[in-house]
Structure 1
Amino acid sequence: MAIDILASAPFRAPVLVRIGHGSSEAVESASDAIHYLQHRWPHERGDHYRRAVKVCKEAAQGSVPTEVAREAFISAAIEAYVLA
């Protein structure tokens, strides 16, 4: 079953992450967060990662406030040691 992802509202402030050895990158919305979680995230993925994927998808669909998704993404970034 496909999930429709909308262009979600921007976070109140971007979340800076550092994936690998590159410079910090700004994640500015739930849609951006989904991209990072699904395509750029480290291989070790815990409970915060799984919650962030779920909540960010819900926020991108408009059923969860954007800031709830931002907080879930921050928790996942802390868990994965990528919060800049």
Structure 2
Amino acid sequence: MKDAQFKPVTVESLHSFKLRNIGSVAEAAEFLSSDWPGERGRIYLLARMACNEAMEGHASPAMARSVFVQATMEADIYVENTTWVR
């Protein structure tokens, strides 16, 4: 389930000051590990764990998305949860 899709979440990447559309568990995990611009607090760690669990098939993509959205909101990088054109 590594590439399991979910309803896209748009976030702001503060490293590049660009919007980024995250639409899968793998993309969320990559963003958390490589492009995370904010604080790495408790919800960030929970989001990493949720993505790993979803990629291993032990959690749903929807659950991983929910925790990912919470982490982006905490880091003040959440933009919207609707699809935009790349």
Q: How many residue pairs are counted as aligned between the two chains?
A: 78
RCO higher in 1 or 2 (8 Å CA, sep ≥ 6)? Answer: 2
- 2:8 paired residue number: 14
Measured in 2, the distance between the counterparts of 1:43 and 1:18 equals 10
Measured in 1, the distance between the counterparts of 2:23 and 2:59 equals 16
Contact between 1:8 and 1:62, CA under 8 Å: does it hold in 2? no
Structure 2 segments unaligned to the other structure (5+ residues) = 80-86
Distance 1:43 1:74, change over 3 A: closer
Is the counterpart of residue 68 in structure 1 residue 63 in structure 2? yes
Q: Percent identity?
A: 32
Query: Alpha-carbon deviations, 1:13-54, whole Å to 9, x = none?
Result: 101000115231110111100100000002521111000000
Higher strand share: 2
What TM-score does the superposition give when structure 2 sets the normalisation length? 0.83
Q: Could you say what the CA RMSD is over the residues aligned between the two structures, in angstroms?
A: 1.3
